[in-house]
Structure 1
Amino acid sequence: VRNIILFLLLLSWYWGAITFGNIAHFVTACAVGEWWFTGEASEQYSLGSSIKRAFTTNFGTICFGSLFEALIKAARSVADDKRQKSILSCIFVCILRILEKVIGYLNEWAFIFAALTGQGFVQASRSFIDLFKQRGWTVIINDTLVGTTLMLISRGIGFISAAAAGLIMYLLISDPLEKLAPIIIIVFISFLIGVLMSSIITTILTSCVRTVVVCFALNPAALGATHPDYLKKLTEVWHKVYAQEFANSGYAKQFVEPMV
């Protein structure tokens, strides 16, 4: 009974937190869509329209997709308490951790596709996977280093915040060696605050980058109408780094292979 109550409490907390996080992710994707597309196509991605969609027509989609991730997280949290009791518990926790990462990763892409197309969660997930398979973009997604780069930036900001706090405390306190423990605590708290604040920004940037990838797969010509210079740069880099994927993508006929 205790585990069931704990599971339900964790499920409600995770579901709410993940849902609101995905709402922000959804609105960010719509903002990029407004920048990418033109005319009437971009009107549905305006800030007011995207917030309205996130809390009305697409709210069920966001909640439904968030529920899967919340279930895995809650089950993993409950299983963590028992993983030291048996080998099977450890294996079960490892499986849940893998599922948690996979579902969370796929959800992010599916919600972007849902934001741009208005499809439901299941349909958006299938359409997204089919589109990227057809375009040969699976390798590009697997090779993306954006998440790792932004994570390093976030950690770097945390260390800078900690160093700044430590330096300030060292200068303000007359005898810092005698009060080393409070300084260490303040440095640690400053590190956490720096990482937390920077993570908010890096999360938004990650959503923007992934939305650009999806928009490019959906309709690269739309970027040519709104921002032709950016389309040229993206096409040049794509051809340079992923020449084979560019040739197999189906876009080679639309865009002449740039001279590199």
Structure 2
Amino acid sequence: MIIGVIVWIFVVNRHRIELTVRIIGVASNALSRNLGLFGVLPALTIGLFVYYVPIVVFLIFANLNGKIVPREENGEHFCVWKQDRWVPAYYALAILTMLWSAAAMVEAQVYVISGTIARWYFSKDDAGPKHGIRNSLRNAFGASFGTICFSGLLIGVVRILRAMVDNARREDASGIVNLILRCFVNTFLSAIDFLNKFTINFAAITGEAYCSAARMTYELLRRNLLSAVFVEAVSTRILAGITLVLSAIYAIVVCVILKAGIHLGNDSYFVALMAWVLLIIVLGFFVHVLDNVIDTVYVCYAVDRDRGEVYKQDVHEVYVHLPISRSHRAGFVARTPLVV
């Protein structure tokens, strides 16, 4: 029954799935021209952990600041350690700094991916310009560093608020008011998260500041009647599904080989579990990069369409089949060409 339902879903959405597969193929081709990203992005993550080292060390030493004070309880006298007043505030500041830094690093990685892919897209040579990754890194940690930090701050706040909403849901807060507030907050946070995703792509392409990039991104997609939801939702779900299926198959094969060939016994389950986790991490990283490449190519195509140009014919042949945004099917929107 379940298999039949799955097959029916695939048959009904066959055209959408075919289009999504072609979009993923175009993005994979773009990524294959910029394989250096697979070395730069992990290096940025390692740099983040190196940045965390002194913060953690200072947190440890901050905990040592205080004095021993006497205390009386139930007629007994004993000594306790009392931290200085500034230590809790420093802990809060350090933790917030680490969260903000992590969010900013994620946005910096998206910026580097978008800038590199955009340079490939708008170049006449299919191989792309030289030093594309280097230029994107220089812009990310130079002129556009404020944009990245602001985006990281915004996303960090969104994540914290979403965690608070989820925590309230787990505590089973009753009442129609709480339900309405949760729905409103979730919708608002999802809208911010969605808009921010394409804003960073556009900022990396044009070098605009965050607020102007957000406004111009919305106007760009609105003028060209493009459905960003299709690219965002369908491609992400297909990539996530492929990741889960491949990792599960890999774990099963590893378990069978270990039990039948090496005779590890019950230890084979633990090894298979570790293999599954490792492959999930590797494929998750690849999907994260590919997902951002898809978004970047999508925005580049929108810029091309807005300016009436064709830089990558193979991209246009695929993205021209994207569905028109439902909110703009009723009428024609006057187009003002974008100058990048």
* Residue ranges of structure 2 left out of the alignment (5+ in a row): 1-84, 336-340
Q: 1:23 is matched with which residue: 88, 108, 115? A: 108
Q: 8 Å contact 2:147–2:210 — kept in the other structure?
A: yes
Per the alignment, do residues 250 and 162 of structure 1 end up closer, same or farther by CA in structure 2, a change over 3 Å counting?
A: farther
Offset at residue 173 of structure 1 (A)? 4.4
Q: 8 Å contact 1:36–1:223 — kept in the other structure?
A: no
In structure 2, what is the equivalent of residue 142 of structure 1?
A: 229
Q: 2:286 is matched with which residue: 178, 201, 217? A: 201
Q: Partners in 1 of 2:117 and 2:264 — Cα distance?
A: 52
TM alignment of 1:190-229, pairs within 5 A: 190-220=275-305, 224=310, 226-229=311-314
In structure 2, what is the equivalent of residue 255 of structure 1?
A: none
Offset at residue 56 of structure 1 (A)? 1.0
In structure 2, what is the equivalent of residue 87 of structure 1?
A: 173
Give the aligned residue type for 1:17.
A
RMSD: 3.7
Per the alignment, do residues 195 and 33 of structure 1 end up closer, same or farther by CA in structure 2, a change over 3 Å counting?
A: same
Give the aligned residue type for 1:162.
A
Which has more helix, going by share of residues? 1
Offset at residue 153 of structure 1 (A)? 1.2
Q: Partners in 2 of 1:79 and 1:4 — Cα distance?
A: 24
Q: Partners in 1 of 2:302 and 2:333 — Cα distance?
A: 9
Q: 1:48 is matched with which residue: 127, 134, 147? A: 134
Give the aligned residue type for 1:66.
G
Give the aligned residue type for 1:133.
R
Q: 1:60 is matched with which residue: 128, 131, 146? A: 146
Q: Partners in 2 of 1:223 and 1:195 — Cα distance?
A: 39
TM alignment of 1:93-242, pairs within 5 A: 98-137=187-226, 140-144=227-231, 145-174=234-263, 176=265, 179=266, 182-220=267-305, 224=310, 226-235=311-320, 237-238=321-322, 241-242=323-324
Which has more strand, going by share of residues? 2
Q: Secondary structure at the match of 1:197?
A: helix
In structure 2, what is the equivalent of residue 256 of structure 1?
A: none
Offset at residue 134 of structure 1 (A)? 1.9
Give the aligned residue type for 2:110.
H
Cα displacement string for residues 175-230 of structure 1 (whole angstroms, at most 9, x for unaligned residues): 62xx2xx3333322222211111011111111111111111111246862x43344
Q: Secondary structure at the match of 1:87?
A: coil
Offset at residue 96 of structure 1 (A)? 5.6
Cα displacement string for residues 155-183 of structure 1 (whole angstroms, at most 9, x for unaligned residues): 1222123113212321344362xx2xx33
Per the alignment, do residues 63 and 175 of structure 1 end up closer, same or farther by CA in structure 2, a change over 3 Å counting?
A: closer
Equivalent pairs: percent with the same residue?
Answer: 19
Offset at residue 243 of structure 1 (A)? 10
Per the alignment, do residues 60 and 108 of structure 1 end up closer, same or farther by CA in structure 2, a change over 3 Å counting?
A: same
Specify the structure having the higher radius of gyration (Cα). Answer: 2
Q: 8 Å contact 2:105–2:152 — kept in the other structure?
A: no
Matched, 1:73 2:148: no
Offset at residue 100 of structure 1 (A)? 4.6
Give the aligned residue type for 1:160.
I
Per the alignment, do residues 33 and 249 of structure 1 end up closer, same or farther by CA in structure 2, a change over 3 Å counting?
A: farther
Q: Partners in 1 of 2:163 and 2:325 — Cα distance?
A: 44
Q: Secondary structure at the match of 2:208?
A: coil
TM-score using structure 2 length: 0.59
Q: 8 Å contact 1:36–1:222 — kept in the other structure?
A: no
Query: How many equivalent residue pairs?
Result: 239
Q: 8 Å contact 1:132–1:217 — kept in the other structure?
A: yes
Per the alignment, do residues 152 and 8 of structure 1 end up closer, same or farther by CA in structure 2, a change over 3 Å counting?
A: farther
Q: 8 Å contact 2:301–2:315 — kept in the other structure?
A: no
* Residue ranges of structure 1 left out of the alignment (5+ in a row): 252-260
Q: Secondary structure at the match of 2:143?
A: coil
Give the aligned residue type for 1:48.
R
